[in-house]
A and B are shown apart, each in its own frame.
Chain A
Amino acid sequence: MTATLERLPLLVRDWITGFFPEPVRWLVSGLLAIVAILAVFGLYFAYLTLAERKFLGRFQNRPGPNRTGPFGLLQPFADAVKALTKEDIVPQAADKLLHFLAPCLVVAFGLISFAVIPFGRYLIPVDLDAAVLYFFAAGVSSELALFMAGWASHNKYSMISAMRALAQLISYELPLLLAVVPVIMLSGTLSTSKIVVAQGGWTFGIIPHWNVLTPWGFAGFFIFMIAAVAETNRSPFDLPEAESELIAGHLTEYSGFKYALFFMAEYFGMSALCGLGVTLFLGGWQAPIDILQVVPSYVWFMVKLSCVIFCLMWVRATLLRLRIDQLTRLAWKFLVPLGLINLGNAAFWHLSADWSGPLQIVRWAISAAVIVIPFVLIGRTLSSGLAPRTYRYAT
Chain B
Amino acid sequence: MLGSGIIKGLAVTAKNFVGSFHDPERLPTVEYPEKRLTLPEAYRSFPFLVFDGENAIDGLRCVACKMCENECPPQCIYIIPERDEKGRPVKKPKVFDIDLSVCMGCQICVEVCPFDSIKMDQVFEVAATNRFEGLIAHREMLAKSNTYYHQIRPTEAAEVDTRLAEEKRLAEEKAKAAAAAKAAAAAKAAAAPKPVATTAPASATAPAAAPASPAKPAVAAPSPSPSSSSSAAAPMAAAPKPPATTP
Residue on A nearest B28 in the bound complex, by CB: A61
Nearest Cβ distance between residue A387 and chain B, in whole angstroms? 10
Structural contact, B2 and A379, CB atoms closer than 8 A? yes
Within 8 Å of chain B (Cβ to Cβ): is A26?
A: no
Q: Mark A53-72, 1 if CB is under 8 A from B, else 0.
A: 00100111111001000000
Nearest Cβ distance between residue A274 and chain B, in whole angstroms? 18
Within 8 Å of chain A (Cβ to Cβ): is B14?
A: yes
C-alpha spacing A379/B31, complex, angstroms: 45
Within 8 Å of chain A (Cβ to Cβ): is B16?
A: yes
C-alpha spacing A383/B10, complex, angstroms: 19
Instruction: From B1, B9, B16, give the contact of A379 (CB < 8 A).
Output: B1
Residues of A within 8 A of B19 (CB): 61
Structural contact, A59 and B16, CB atoms closer than 8 A? yes
Residue on B nearest A317 in the bound complex, by CB: B13
Q: What is the size, in residues, of chain B's interface with A at 8 Å between Cβ atoms? A: 19
Residues of B within 8 A of A66 (CB): 31
Residue on B nearest A57 in the bound complex, by CB: B20
Residue on A nearest B18 in the bound complex, by CB: A58
Contacts A61-B26, A61-B27, A63-B27; is A314 near B2 (CB within 8 Å)? no
C-alpha spacing A175/B27, complex, angstroms: 39
B15-31 at interface with A (beta carbon < 8 Å): 16-17, 19-21, 26-29, 31
Structural contact, B2 and A58, CB atoms closer than 8 A? no
C-alpha spacing A314/B15, complex, angstroms: 11
Within 8 Å of chain A (Cβ to Cβ): is B3?
A: yes
Residues of A within 8 A of B16 (CB): 58-61
Within 8 Å of chain A (Cβ to Cβ): is B127?
A: no
Structural contact, B10 and A61, CB atoms closer than 8 A? no
Residues of B within 8 A of A376 (CB): 1-2
Instruction: From A62, A315, A375, A380, give the contact of B10 (CB < 8 A).
Output: A315
Interface residues on A, range: 10 to 19
Residue on B nearest A55 in the bound complex, by CB: B17
Nearest Cβ distance between residue B182 and chain A, in whole angstroms? 70
Within 8 Å of chain A (Cβ to Cβ): is B39?
A: no
C-alpha spacing A61/B28, complex, angstroms: 7
Residue on B nearest A320 in the bound complex, by CB: B9
Q: Mark A347-388, 1 if CB is under 8 A from B, else 0.
A: 000000000000000000000000000011001101100000
Contacts A63-B27, A318-B10, A319-B9; is A58 near B17 (CB within 8 Å)? yes
Structural contact, B21 and A58, CB atoms closer than 8 A? yes
Structural contact, A61 and B20, CB atoms closer than 8 A? yes
Structural contact, A319 and B6, CB atoms closer than 8 A? yes
Nearest Cβ distance between residue B33 and chain A, in whole angstroms? 10
Structural contact, B13 and A63, CB atoms closer than 8 A? no
Residues of A within 8 A of B27 (CB): 61-63
C-alpha spacing A379/B1, complex, angstroms: 7
Residues of B within 8 A of A319 (CB): 6, 9
Residues of B within 8 A of A61 (CB): 16, 19-20, 26-29
C-alpha spacing A317/B15, complex, angstroms: 12
Residue on A nearest B14 in the bound complex, by CB: A314
Residues of B within 8 A of A314 (CB): 10, 13-14, 17
Contacts A63-B29, A317-B13; is A58 near B1 (CB within 8 Å)? no
C-alpha spacing A158/B120, complex, angstroms: 50
C-alpha spacing A358/B2, complex, angstroms: 32
Residues of B within 8 A of A58 (CB): 16-17, 20-21
Residue on B nearest A311 in the bound complex, by CB: B10
Contacts A58-B20, A62-B27, A63-B27; is A382 near B2 (CB within 8 Å)? yes
Nearest Cβ distance between residue A374 and chain B, in whole angstroms? 11
Q: Mark B157-176, 1 if CB is under 8 A from A, else 0.
A: 00000000000000000000
C-alpha spacing A379/B2, complex, angstroms: 5
Structural contact, A380 and B29, CB atoms closer than 8 A? no
C-alpha spacing A58/B13, complex, angstroms: 9
Nearest Cβ distance between residue A386 and chain B, in whole angstroms? 10
A307-329 at interface with B (beta carbon < 8 Å): 314-315, 317-319
C-alpha spacing A348/B21, complex, angstroms: 46
C-alpha spacing A382/B29, complex, angstroms: 41
C-alpha spacing A58/B20, complex, angstroms: 6
Q: Mark A23-62, 1 if CB is under 8 A from B, else 0.
A: 0000000000000000000000000000000010011111
Structural contact, A383 and B17, CB atoms closer than 8 A? no
Nearest Cβ distance between residue A333 and chain B, in whole angstroms? 12
In addition to A318-B13, A380-B1, 17 A-B residue pairs with Cβ atoms within 8 Å of each other are A55-B17, A58-B17, A61-B16, A61-B19, A62-B20, A63-B27, A66-B31, A314-B10, A317-B13, A317-B17, A318-B9, A318-B10, A319-B9, A376-B1, A379-B2, A379-B3, A383-B2
On A, residues with C-beta under 8 Å from B are 55, 58-63, 66, 314-315, 317-319, 375-376, 379-380, 382-383
On B, residues with C-beta under 8 Å from A are 1-3, 6, 9-10, 12-14, 16-17, 19-21, 26-29, 31
What are 20 A-B interface contacts by the 8 Å CB criterion? A58-B21, A59-B13, A59-B16, A61-B19, A61-B20, A62-B29, A63-B31, A314-B10, A314-B13, A314-B14, A318-B6, A318-B9, A318-B13, A319-B6, A319-B9, A376-B1, A376-B2, A379-B2, A380-B2, A383-B2
